[in-house]
């Protein structure tokens, strides 16, 4: 018998059940991932036909520790090709689900993804082909990678925020290839929190300190949240913990992004904490913010042992005063035959020239939105920091892989291109990416 190494169990993450780990080695998480058709209850008592991973939408939570190996056996039981992209993980490009590198997994076929988790943080997974339909129909799930010396909380929760467009009988509405759904991306008519139209509910002790991990997996909904009745601050972004937590009135999460919050239940016993999503809607012919409660927590007495999380020291990559520049102009036009076409630097899709950069050399990435709709810009395989918006300091600290870019806004990002390989970058609104706003950056390995 080899010596049993003592490995602390991972903290339980409430909200979504984890995968069954088939590997007894505590440093290897090995799972079966079935992409198939099934029915789920998005609305209580109603069955919705979906595409799902392992029978649930969102798919099971993939939870492991930084440095662990993950082995995923994907079985495609759909009648169309698919791949899995591990959004935010800085792994090898061969495992990234990029259909320009790996041929998609055909119906009835399987593929094994294997990688080592390089960074702690909150991430997610989804297909990288036919994303307009596959993600909307239910193929998406969250990933939690714990720190080596993870801070301790009274509870950890995963909160996957999504929206979906349902018909009157609670089926996924049909997809249109033109018009508003392409120009702005497909907006849902039902908000989903961990795959349900109902708010999350729980009771919590006064004084409890929790870690919430929020993910926006929607097609095209920029989310704006507030938490009423509890104190909270941002402790982590896409790329993991921050050097310094910060506070805001609202938490804005654009498509693809993640934020971890430290939430302190400092209200009186008997009081309620509400998580409110502020949704833009047309009311009386005017665009207004309408509050939707997506979480409801009752304080039911005192937490016997309030946690005092001990955050590891984090330093972000240095910000140079000068660096090479890459300019990406996000645009689009109306083609009489093809309809709306989206572009980067005037070209569309495969016509866009790849950007080639050497590994480890810092670059300023100037991304300018040259058209009306917002774009949640996403770069695979690397993290970046958001430096400025229209020349003004962005005050959005932390490592990110996704960023909101408003109409006609110019955002300056800093990336060090640490991870060699072929990396897609694109708008995370699938209707934009699949209609042209998607290309690659090739990071050539350092000697």
Q: What is the binding site for ligand C2O (CB under 6 A)?
A: 85, 87, 126, 128, 256, 378, 380, 424, 426, 428
Nearest to 25 by CA among 83, 74, 64: 64
- Of residues 378 and 400, the one with the C-beta less far from ligand C2O: 378
Residue 43 DSSP code: S
- Of residues 53 and 232, the one with the C-beta less far from ligand C2O: 53
Q: How far is the CB of 297 from ligand C2O (least distance, A)?
A: 29
State both tokens at 412.
Answer: 């300056």
- Residue 375's binding partner out of Cu ion, ligand C2O, none, with CB under 5 to 8 Å set by partner kind: Cu ion
Handedness of CA 98, 104, 108, 114 (dihedral sign): negative
- Residue 432's binding partner out of Cu ion, ligand C2O, none, with CB under 5 to 8 Å set by partner kind: Cu ion
- Residue 114 CB: number of other CB atoms within 10 A? 15
Alpha-carbon span 444 to 447, nearest angstrom: 9
Task: Return the residue nearest ligand C2O (CB atom).
Answer: 87
> How many residues of this chain interact with Cu ion, rule: CB under 5 A?
4
Buried b (16+ CB within 10 A) or exposed e, 93-110: bebbbbbebbebbeeeee
Q: How far is the CB of 401 from ligand C2O (least distance, A)?
A: 8
- Residue 429's binding partner out of Cu ion, ligand C2O, none, with CB under 5 to 8 Å set by partner kind: Cu ion
- Residue 414's binding partner out of ligand C2O, Cu ion, none, with CB under 5 to 8 Å set by partner kind: none
Q: How far is the CB of 380 from ligand C2O (least distance, A)?
A: 6
Q: How far is the CB of 339 from Cu ion (least distance, A)?
A: 15
Q: What are phi and psi of 135, to 5 degrees?
A: -70, -45
Query: Which residue has 């290309």 as its token pair?
Result: 439
CB 215 within 8 A of CB 258: yes
Residue 360 DSSP code: T
Task: Return the residue nearest Cu ion (CB atom).
Answer: 427
- Of residues 208 and 253, the one with the C-beta less far from ligand C2O: 253
Residues ≥6 apart with Cβ < 8 Å to 355: 326, 439, 440, 441, 442
- Of residues 98 and 369, the one with the C-beta less far from ligand C2O: 98
Q: How far is the CB of 103 from ligand C2O (least distance, A)?
A: 17
Q: Would you put residue 434 in left (φ > 0), alpha (ψ -120 to 50) or beta?
A: alpha
- Of residues 208 and 386, the one with the C-beta less far from ligand C2O: 386
Instruction: Choose, by CB under 5 A, the member of 186, 211, 389, 432 that binds Cu ion.
Output: 432
- Of residues 87 and 416, the one with the C-beta less far from ligand C2O: 87
Q: How far is the CB of 402 from Cu ion (least distance, A)?
A: 12
- Residue 206's binding partner out of ligand C2O, Cu ion, none, with CB under 5 to 8 Å set by partner kind: none
Alpha-carbon span 191 to 53, nearest angstrom: 20
- Residue 380's binding partner out of ligand C2O, Cu ion, none, with CB under 5 to 8 Å set by partner kind: ligand C2O
Residue 185 DSSP code: -
Partners of 365 in beta bridges? 326, 413
- Residue 87's binding partner out of Cu ion, ligand C2O, none, with CB under 5 to 8 Å set by partner kind: ligand C2O
Tell me the helices (H) and strands (E) count for the chain, helix number first. Answer: 3, 31
Residues that bind Cu ion (CB under 5 A): 375, 427, 429, 432
């Amino acid at each position: 018998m080899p010596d049993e190494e003592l490995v602390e169990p991972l903290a339980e993450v409430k909200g979504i059940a984890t995968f069954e780990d088939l590997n007894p080695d505590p440093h290897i998480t090995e799972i079966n991932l079935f992409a198939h058709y099934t029915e789920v209850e998005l609305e209580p008592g109603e069955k919705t036909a979906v595409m799902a991973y392992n029978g649930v939408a969102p798919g099971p939570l993939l939870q492991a520790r930084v440095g662990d190996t993950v082995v995923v056996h994907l079985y495609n039981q759909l009648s169309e090709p698919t791949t899995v992209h591990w959004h935010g993980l800085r792994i090898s490009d061969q495992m990234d689900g990029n259909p320009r590198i790996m041929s998609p997994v055909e119906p009835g076929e399987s593929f094994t993804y294997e990688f080592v988790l390089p960074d702690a943080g909150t991430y997610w997974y989804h297909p990288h082909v036919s994303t307009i339909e596959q993600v909307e129909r239910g193929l998406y799930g969250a990933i939690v990678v714990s720190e080596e010396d993870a801070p301790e909380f009274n509870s950890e929760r995963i909160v996957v925020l999504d929206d979906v467009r349902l018909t009157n009988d609670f089926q996924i509405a049909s997809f249109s290839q033109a018009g508003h759904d392409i120009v702005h991306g497909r907006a849902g008519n039902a908000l989903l929190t961990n795959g349900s139209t109902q708010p999350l509910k729980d009771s919590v002790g006064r004084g409890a300190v929790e870690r919430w991990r929020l993910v926006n997996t929607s097609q095209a909904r920029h989310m704006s949240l507030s938490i009423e009745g509890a104190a909270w601050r941002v402790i982590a972004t896409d790329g993991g913990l921050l050097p310094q937590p910060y506070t805001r009135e609202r938490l804005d999460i654009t498509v693809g992004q993640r934020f971890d919050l430290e939430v302190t239940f400092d209200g009186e016993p008997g009081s309620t904490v509400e998580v409110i999503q502020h949704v833009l809607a047309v009311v009386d012919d005017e665009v207004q913010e309408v509050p939707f409660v997506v979480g409801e927590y009752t304080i039911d007495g005192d937490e016997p042992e309030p946690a005092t999380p001990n955050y590891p020291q984090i330093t972000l990559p240095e910000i140079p005063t000068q660096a090479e520049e890459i300019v990406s102009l996000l645009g689009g036009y109306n083609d009489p035959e093809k309809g709306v076409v989206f572009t980067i630097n005037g070209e569309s899709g495969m016509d866009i020239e790849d950007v080639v950069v050497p590994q480890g050399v810092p670059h300023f990435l100037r991304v300018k939105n040259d058209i009306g709709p917002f774009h949640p810009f996403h770069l695979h395989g690397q993290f970046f920091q958001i430096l400025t918006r229209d020349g003004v300091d962005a005050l959005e600290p932390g490592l990110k892989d996704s960023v909101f870019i408003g109409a006609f806004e110019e955002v300056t990002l800093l990336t060090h291109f640490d991870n060699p390989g072929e990396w897609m970058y694109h708008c995370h609104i699938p209707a934009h990416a699949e209609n042209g706003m998607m290309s690659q950056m090739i990071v050539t390995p350092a000697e």
